[in-house]
Amino acid sequence: MKKIMADSKLEKMLARGNLELSPRIEKEQIRPASIDLRVGKIYDAIYHRERHAYYPGNEVGKDADGVYHLKAGRHYCVETLEKVDFKGGADSFYVIPRSSFGRSLVSVGLLEENLHNSGGVRHAVSDASEYEEKREDSTIKPGYSGKIALSLSSASFGVDLKKGDRIVQLVGIEGEGEGGNTYSMHIGKFLGSLLGKTVKPANGVKDDTLFTDMYLESLVASEKTAVKCQTKETVNYSDDMRAAIVLCYSKGRALDSDRSVNVSYVDPGYSGRLFGMLSGDGVPEVVRTGDRLLYVKEYKVSGIVKRSYADKKTGSHY
Q: Tens of pLDDT along the chain (318 residues)?
A: 899 999 999 999 999 999 999 999 999 999 999 999 999 999 999 988 887 778 899 999 999 999 999 999 899 999 999 999 999 999 999 999 998 998 898 989 888 655 432 222 222 333 334 434 444 468 899 999 999 999 999 988 999 999 999 999 999 999 987 778 899 999 999 999 998 899 999 888 888 889 999 999 999 887 777 789 999 999 999 999 999 999 876 533 334 333 334 578 999 999 999 998 887 666 788 889 999 989 899 999 999 999 988 766 655 544
Domain ranges of the chain: 3-174, 182-306
Which residues have a Cβ under 8 Å from the Cβ of 232 and sit 6 or more positions away? 185, 186, 187, 188, 289, 290
Count of other CB atoms within 10 angstroms of residue 281: 19
3-state helix, strand, coil in the chain (%, to 5): 10, 50, 40
Report the C-alpha gap between 259 and 151 in whole angstroms.
10
**CATH number assigned to the domain with residue range 182-306, chosen from the 4 options 1.10.150.20, 3.40.50.2300, 3.40.50.150, 2.70.40.10:** 2.70.40.10
> Which long-range CB contacts under 8 A does 51-57 form with residues at least 24 apart?
51/112, 53/111, 53/112, 53/120, 54/111, 54/151, 55/111, 55/113, 56/149
Q: Write the CA distances from 167 to 13, 113, 164, integer angstroms.
A: 21, 18, 9
The per-residue pLDDT for 311 is: 67
**Residue 112 has what pLDDT?**
62
Residues 269, 252 contacting (CB under 8 angstroms): no
Determine the pLDDT at residue 171: 97
**C-alpha radius of gyration, the chain, whole number:** 18
Q: Quickly name the fold that domain 3-174 has.
A: Deoxyuridine 5'-Triphosphate Nucleotidohydrolase; Chain A (2.70.40)
Continuous H helices in the chain? 7-16, 99-103, 131-136
- Are the folds of 3-174 and 182-306 the same? yes
Neighbouring CB atoms inside 10 A of 209's CB total 9
Q: Is the Cα torsion angle 75, 291, 102, 242 positive or negative in sign?
A: negative
**pTM attached to this predicted model:** 0.87
Q: What SS3 state is found at 141?
A: coil
pLDDT at 128: 38
CB 190 within 8 A of CB 286: no
pLDDT in the model for residue 118? 28
Per-residue pLDDT at 260 = 37
> In a 3-state reduction of DSSP, which class is residue 260?
coil
Which pLDDT does position 24 carry in this prediction?
94
Q: What is the pLDDT of residue 276?
A: 87
- Nearest Cα residue to 208 out of 190, 194, 219, 222: 194
Strands 3-5 and 292-302: what pairing? parallel
